[in-house]
Chains A and B, each alone.
Chain A
Amino acid sequence: MTIADTSQRPRFFARGNVYLPHIVVIEKVIEETPGVRTFHFNFKDERLREEFAFQSGQFAEYSIFGVGEAPFCISSSPTRRDHMEFALQRVGKVTNALHRLGVGAEIGFRGPYGNSFPLDFLAGKNLVFIGGGIGLAPLRSLIWNVIDNREKYERIDIIYGARSPADLCFKYDLETWGKDSSVNMVTTVDRGDKDWTGKVGFVPAITEQVAPSAKNAVAIVCGPPVMIRFTFPVLAKLGFTPEQMITTLEKRMKCGIGKCGRCNIGNLYVCRDGPVFSYAQIKSFISSEY
């Protein structure tokens, strides 16, 4: 596994007809929870395996030919590039079809789209990652990116929650981060079970308990909209300014490149101007558009 500094990687822009997907091949399927799977994949085209570059936070449109396309973030880190990963919950037509795929299946991939987490801005800061459910997928790309360049960042807090212990995604990562002495990991569930020894409570409430300091810090929040909506006020109470709160948003996204019109929040398109936003950018629209 190669570990590289991603800021050095050239940006990859699709040439020609951007709607034409590349073919990628599924290399591994991981059952994260009963409804969530992670897929490891790679380009069929050898040259693309070499050339393709992306940044943490970017997403792509994945498609099953004959079923349709759906957007998911790239959940692996660009610092670890022998393959790429995306994770998804089985909820709709495309995700159900994707869940039926096994190793060797070919799917369409176009991207990477959107902006990415602002690594330069994050460098030298205390980072507070706050995730809920499958919202850990985009954070995970950044967390590994940061851990692989650990000396560039200060304190790392990770607060992650899910509905129940069975709903926790990326348990293998949670375990690794839990053991990493340079990371302060807090895991919580809304409802525990008899074996659960961690915290119990909603992510915003646990965030208030953990009370990360806002000093020289940036909070990166990702999860279901309701979690995001309730976490921002908690952070504000802790002294985080809107510029110190970053999130990545999800919308129905069809084109992925700011054309089809459906993913806007105000005059910003989540696909084109996001998916990574500071709270300062979206606060005038967020309560009613997200």
Chain B
Amino acid sequence: MFKKIGHSEIAKLLSEWSKESTVLVPTRADGVTTWAKWDGRDVSFLDWYRNTVVPPKSFLLPMLEEMFRFQKGKDGYSLELPPSDGRKQVIFGIRPCDARALAIIDLVFREGYEDLYYVNRRNNTTLVGLACTSPYDSCFCTSLGSGPGDARGVDLMLTTAGDQLLIEEVTDKGKELTAGASGLGKAAEADLISAREAVELASRKVTRQVDLKDTDKALLANFEKAEFWEDIAAKCVSCGICTFLCPTCYCFDINDEMDRQGGARVKSWDSCQFALYTRMPMENPRVEKWRRVRQKVSHKFLFYPLSYETTGCVGCGRCIRRCPVNWDITQVLNSLTAKVA
């Protein structure tokens, strides 16, 4: 079902949602675009927002979180879970790529033993997508079967249609948000057409392309070739930025931290780009940088396809925009397929 809303009504809509949920919106923190709880007034991000530097994954997988606390009493150890934060959250304005990224993380975190820290938050989260109008020249989502208007992965999809926003109700969870909301009108055929045109226009602006047809074959064929990978990894400085800012990267570490009240077992972001990540006391399978770069590329473009029939990359382009040495995944992928051909 399609509805629509005028720009001037958005603040009111967000206020209504804020009663039940924490509404998260794009924001600028000292010039860096990230996400924060909506301040109750400002919706100007609708004008300046392209995509955030920091992906919204941190609201589902916090950078640091206490899994439980432990304390030693006279009857031995007792463990205590953090108070359950059952509050709902709405991520308003999530881009299609970042929403698909969460669907990709779901594959891992909902499978087998569920990771309840993630799953509970995820179940309490509603994604309101916002179709892109001005993609970056580093975006390559259209090569990954997606695009600026892709609604798979969101609960509601908003698309600019003139001075209004078209609202597509994608899931039942999305419908819960629109049900009874004020300021919503019925969308007319003309609105649908104008929204479709906006998406098409935006899609044409995504000019960066990768050919993924034989990428998995090329990765497998070159897996053991050290020089091949050394070449690809040469300029990387192993800072891990590409993985921290990647909307699908979920790797984490578990450590114990002591404080005055006792101690806590803590989960924190980690990165396959660090040698310590795989270090065992006597062995480390990925001491050399090229093995770690190979892991990053192979995980997303070989292992994910093998296990889940999807890439682990959504083409958001953050790793290209933010790499300090301009390491470029699209260049790597294109050179890979060139090599196998």
| Physical interaction between A and B | yes
The listed residue (A65, A250, A252, A255) touching B256 by CB distance below 8 A is A65
From A13, A66, A69, A260, give the contact of B263 (CB < 8 A): A66
Instruction: Please name all residues of chain B whose beta carbon is closer than 8 Å to the beta carbon of A254 when the two chains form the complex.
Output: 252-254
Q: Which of A21, A44, A68, A288 contacts B291 (CB 8 A)?
A: A288
CA distance A183 to B223 in the complex (A): 41
Q: Do A260 and B77 contact each other (CB < 8 Å), given the known contacts A91-B281, A252-B279, A289-B285? A: no
Residues of A within 8 A of B224 (CB): 287-288
User: Could you tell me the distance between the alpha carbons of A16 and B81 in the complex, rounded to whole angstroms?
Assistant: 12
Name the residue on A nearest B225 (C-beta). A288
Selected from B76, B115, B256, B306, the residue in CB contact (under 8 A) with A23 is B76
The one of B113, B272, B279, B281 in contact with A261, judged by C-beta atoms closer than 8 angstroms, is B272
Q: Which of B112, B114, B270 has the most CB of A within 10 A?
A: B112
In-complex Cβ contact of A259 among B252, B272, B285, B291 (8 A): B252
**Which residues of chain B have C-beta atoms less than 8 A from A258's C-beta?**
108, 111-113
Mark out the residues of chain B between 83 and 116 whose CB falls within 8 Å of any chain A CB in the assembled complex: 108-109, 111-116
Q: At the interface, yes or no: B64 with Cβ under 8 Å from chain A?
A: no
Contact B220 A251 (CB under 8 A): no
B281-305 with Cβ < 8 A to chain A: 281-283, 285, 291, 295, 298-299, 302-304
Secondary structure dominating the interface of B:
mixed
Smallest CB-CB separation from B69: which chain A residue?
A65
Residues of B within 8 A of A23 (CB): 76-77
Q: Measured between alpha carbons, how far is A266 from B305 in the docked complex, in Å?
A: 11
Bound: A167/B108 CA distance, A: 40
Name the distance in Å between A94's Cβ and chain B's nearest Cβ.
9
Q: Does B186 contact A (CB under 8 A)?
A: no
Asked whether any CB of chain B lies closer than 8 Å to the CB of A264, the reply is yes
Does more than half of chain A's interface fall in helix, strand or loop, or is it mixed? loop
- The verdict on A257 contacting chain B, using a C-beta distance below 8 Å, is yes
Does B72 lie at the interface of the complex (its beta carbon under 8 Å from any beta carbon of A)? Answer: yes
Q: Are A67 and B76 in contact (CB under 8 A)?
A: no
Contact indicator A261/B252 (Cβ below 8 Å) = yes
Contacts of B253 in A (CB 8 A): 254, 260
CB within 8 Å for A290 and B285 given contacts A66-B258, A262-B277 = yes
Q: Let me know if A12 is at the binding interface, CB within 8 A.
A: no
B251 interface hit (Cβ, 8 Å): yes
In the complex, A92 has a CB within 8 A of chain B: yes
* 8 A Cβ contacts from A16-57 to B: 16-21, 23, 44
Any chain A CB within 8 A of the CB of B49?
Answer: no
A17 to B77: give the CA distance in the assembly, Å: 18
Residues of chain B contacted by A7 (CB below 8 angstroms) = none
Residue tally, chain B, CB below 8 Å to A: 50
Chain A residues, Cβ within 8 Å of B270 = 260-262
Chain A residues with CB under 8 Å of B272's CB are: 261-262
The residues in A between 237 and 281 inclusive whose CB is less than 8 angstroms from any CB of B are: 250-252, 254-255, 257-264, 266-267, 272
Q: Does B261 contact A (CB under 8 A)?
A: no
**In the bound complex, how far is the Cα of B254 from the Cα of A19, in angstroms?**
10
Most B CB contacts (10 A, CB to CB) among A68, A261, A263 go to A261
Smallest Cβ-Cβ distance to B272: which chain A residue: A261
- Which among A69, A250, A267, A289 is the interface contact of B307 at CB below 8 angstroms? A267
Min distance, Cβ B158 to any Cβ of chain A, angstroms: 32
Instruction: For the complex, give the distance between the alpha carbons of A92 and B299 in Å.
Output: 28
**A23 to B71 CA separation, bound complex (whole angstroms):** 12
Q: A108 vs B116: C-alpha distance in the bound complex, in angstroms?
A: 19
Q: Residue A63 at the B interface, CB < 8 A?
A: yes
- Shortest B146–chain A CB gap in Å is 22
A224 to B291, CA, bound (A): 20
Give A274 Cβ to nearest chain B Cβ, in Å. Answer: 13
Across the interface, which residues of B come within 8 angstroms of A13, CB to CB? Answer: 113
Instruction: Identify the interface centre among A95, A224, A266: most chain B CB within 10 Å of its CB.
Output: A266
CB neighbours (8 Å) of B258 from chain A are: 66
Contact, CB under 8 Å: B116 / A285: no
Looking at B72, B270, B278, the one whose CB has the most chain A CB atoms below 10 A away is B278
Complex interface: chain A residues within 8 A of B304 (CB): 267
Most buried by B among A13, A95, A289: A289
Chain A residue nearest to B70 in the complex (CB):
A65
Bound together, the chains give a CA A284 to CA B224 distance in angstroms of: 9
Chain A: which residue is nearest B283 at the CB level? A225
Q: Which of A14, A19, A259, A260 has the most CB of B within 10 A?
A: A259
B2 interface residue per 8 A CB criterion: no
**In-complex Cβ contact of A252 among B114, B263, B280 (8 A):** B280
Contact of B79 with A272 in the complex, beta carbons under 8 Å: no
Q: Does B136 interact with chain A (Cβ within 8 Å)? A: no
The one of B79, B254, B255, B306 that contacts A255, using a Cβ cutoff of 8 Å: B254
Q: With an 8 A cutoff between CB atoms, is B68 at the interface?
A: yes
User: Across the interface, which residues of A come within 8 angstroms of B223, CB to CB?
Assistant: 284-285, 288
Q: Which single member of B81, B112, B255, B256 contacts A17 (CB below 8 Å)?
A: B81
Chain B residues engaging chain A, CB cutoff 8 angstroms: 67-68, 70, 72, 76-77, 79, 81, 108-109, 111-117, 220, 223-224, 226, 250-256, 258, 263, 265, 270, 272, 277-283, 285, 291, 295, 298-299, 302-304, 306-307
19 more CB-based (< 8 A) A-B contacts, given A261-B252, A288-B224: A14-B113, A18-B116, A20-B81, A63-B256, A65-B77, A65-B263, A67-B256, A95-B281, A106-B77, A108-B77, A224-B283, A225-B283, A258-B108, A258-B112, A260-B252, A266-B306, A267-B304, A288-B223, A290-B285
List 4 A-B pairs, minimum CB-CB distance, nearest first: A91-B281, A261-B251, A267-B303, A92-B281
Q: Can you name 16 A-B pairs with beta carbons within 8 Å?
A: A19-B254, A19-B265, A66-B256, A106-B76, A224-B283, A255-B254, A258-B111, A258-B112, A259-B113, A259-B250, A261-B251, A264-B295, A264-B299, A267-B307, A272-B112, A285-B223
